[in-house]
Amino acid sequence: MLIIGPMRALAYDGPYRVKVRNKPPVFGTAVPLRGLSGAIRRLADRAPDHKPRHWVLKMLGDRVESWGHRARRLLIIALPIAGIALVVRRQSA
């Protein structure tokens, strides 16, 4: 409650921010969102910036993208090794 003058009170709802439809380039709009991490980030954009849900979903989207990158990098190594192991196993049987 904000008191202005004698016996006049105004309700204070916290900082006011207008929701911007188009994000400025600083938010990384040059590369479109894709995959599961992109879907999570789009869901986060629906929540207001001052809600913890917005930032938790943004961080979750980052973690999902990070693990996806690790899986793709590991797949390049693991797939040929699995193929060689399968061929060796069939030859020995």
The mean per-residue pLDDT over the stretch 24-49 comes to 80
Strand, helix or coil for residue 10: strand
Look up the domain containing 60 and give its range. 2-92
Range with top average pLDDT, 8-12, 31-35, 61-65, 88-92: 61-65
* Radius of gyration over every alpha carbon of the chain, rounded to an integer in angstroms: 25
In the chain, % of residues over pLDDT 70: 67
For residues 29 and 9, give the distance between their C-alpha atoms in angstroms, rounded to a whole number.
43
Number of domains the chain contains: 1
Confidence of residue 36 (pLDDT cuts 50, 70, 90): very high
